Chains A and B, each alone.
Chain A
Amino acid sequence: MLLRIISDIFLFFIVFALPWWVSIVFLIVFIIYFELFYEALFFALALDSIFGLRFFPILISSGILLLIVFNIKQKLYFL
């Protein structure tokens, strides 16, 4: 839990202080690493709003990625 909070704070600074492509790389890594990384939607929305993207491409992509990663994780289980 602590790791997740630290990651959230880290991502918050990344989104506002570093180029967009760095934020997207970290966003993807965190979506894959953490279980149900809902925070990704907030950060994706922040990126879309800062860039003034009207159709929220980053938000929609993040939502789709969250669903895909969740489904893949469901199917991956070890005996």
Chain B
Amino acid sequence: MNYPLQNSYRPKKYKNLNKLVFVVITVIVLSFALNIFMPKVLGGTFYFLGQPIWYLKNNFSSYFPNTALLIRSKSDLESENQKLKGEVSEYDALKANIAMLQQENDGLKEMLGRHDQQKNKNILANVLLKPSLTPYDTFIIDIGGVQEIEVNDKVLVSGNIAIGFISRVFTNTSEVTLYSSNGIETDVSIGSNNITLKAYGRGGGNLIARVPKESEIKIGDVVTFPGSSVVFSTVEFKESRPTDSFDILLFKNPVNENELKYVEVMKSAKAATR
């Protein structure tokens, strides 16, 4: 009778099982311990390791933005160029108007003796990582504890539009969570009557708020932070049901997070004077 020969490697390989179990359990336990006792160490280390790759990737993609543009006809480019020039001149006029209003606003604040109290310091930051390399509605910027960034500092675009806040700070990097992130509650002020209410993030750049039916909020009203001139968004949609005593307001982030390259971090007045 013939029997199959036993594989001589099998018993030897079994020795590795104990080693493997030991390594796996040790790594998991150490990771949990580090996360509990030194929560910044793991994130900080991997952000530090990834930083050169992210810089390289951002620079590389800026050199080759869109190859499809290279094969467009000159007449298309010419017409688009004209259109964009027109838009730029419109924005220039708008910018001049805003600057004038800002100046007037500063003058009025100074007259009321409130000019310096509201002074904040903005720091420009490079966006290193965006979704889908980070969870949706979050991104990573290249300034952190070294620049005295603190958790909850506001993150702005275009100087005056708040899109999120600092949620984690590492040595040279920070994580920004958008106000539209799912589960995030933000106090906002809407309309000419400055109705203060809570806006809830719904993910994907969208926010929702409920407002009593009697309020005179309409589509296009500016959403700001209570007691601040920082703009949050504008009301995009208002849903009114006859059976409900509240109206539902929908608004979204004014900028697409996937197109962001730079943001500003507004250090609070207290942090800025440190």
Contacts and interface: CB of A to CB of B under 8 A. Distances in A.
B28 A56 contact: yes
B5 A79 contact: yes
Interface in A32-78: 36, 38, 41, 45-46, 48-52, 54, 56, 59-60, 63, 66-67, 70-71, 73-74, 77
Nearest to A23: B133
Contacts, number: 83
A2 interface: no
Contact of A49 (B4, B5, B27, B42): B42
B7 A56 contact: no
Could you tell me the dominant secondary structure of chain B's interface residues?
helix
Contact of B45 (A49, A51, A59, A77): A49
A74 B10 CA distance: 7
Contact of B20 (A45, A67, A77): A67
Interface of A: 13, 16-21, 36, 38, 41, 45-46, 48-52, 54, 56, 59-60, 63, 66-67, 70-71, 73-74, 77, 79
Interface of B: 4-5, 7, 9-10, 13-14, 16-17, 20-21, 23-25, 27-28, 31-32, 35, 42-43, 45-47, 49-50, 53-54, 57, 129, 132-135, 138, 168, 175
